Amino acid sequence: TWGNPVTIWCQGTLEPLTQGYLPPGGSGKPMILTTQGPVVASGQSLTLQCRSDVSYDRFTLAKEGTQVLPQRPARQPQAGLSQAHFPLDEVSTLHGGRYRCYGRCNLSSLWSAPSDPLDVLVAGQLPDTPTLSVQPGSTVATGENATLLCWSWSPMDTFLLSKEGETHPPLHLRSKYHGQQFQAQFSMSPVTSAHWGTYRCYGSLSSDPYLLSHPSDPLELVVSGEGPLTRPQTFSGPRLQHHI
């Protein structure tokens, strides 16, 4: 339940920076994001960014299941905005997990409400690589139906489908055992220009859903009658939340 309208004050200001409805005992939640996308290979670098339209003085980053909470002073690129970067250098299996960030003003002892979670997924951690194919073919007309099939001979509990250039979480589907294969079918119905792009799929096990297989070979889906320079840059589909 949200509290009454209140004013947020941060150190060094003579005027309130923002007003809003705040949850009891906290303040407006920031957001956490990465411009690189949440899937990263071991050894690569990844930067998580905490951002808010409240002028916080500090941000802290929390990883689910750990007590280590690094803090960084906030930068204010313009009035009323604040942000901080948390670089994860040489990503390893230890970095896989669910992250949230919190903001705080120096004059307050309370941290904000948590951001919505962001899952960091580390690829290349399983010995087998899935295969990605498309039916009826890699060129599909607008309005038709297409199905991307991700499959593996080896056990996989979940398959994930990512689109090159997207920063939002990959699509998730539980695998089904069929014809001596573990597989998941990602339906695109009807196909629109938003589906044009290059796709890869990954597999994961329920014992550690943040550690993924190597990516499949890339598959380019072409939408006939549409130009790649004019197509929208987002697409949507079924998502399945991890249960840990």
Tell me the per-residue pLDDT of 22-73, one tens digit each, with 9 for 90 and over: 444 445 789 999 988 889 999 999 999 999 998 899 999 999 998 767 899 9
Instruction: Provide the CATH topology of domain 131-224.
Output: Immunoglobulin-like (2.60.40)
Q: How far apart are CA 71 and CA 73, in angstroms?
A: 7
Tens digits of residue pLDDT in 146-173: 999 999 999 999 999 999 988 889 999 9
CB-based burial label for 37 (10 Å; 0-12, 13-18, 19+) = middle
The pLDDT of residue 241 is above 70: no
Strand-pair category, 219-224 with 139-141: parallel
Q: State mean pLDDT over 82-105.
A: 93
Query: What CATH code is assigned to 5-123?
Result: 2.60.40.10
Within the chain, which residue ranges are assigned CATH 2.60.40.10? 5-123, 131-224
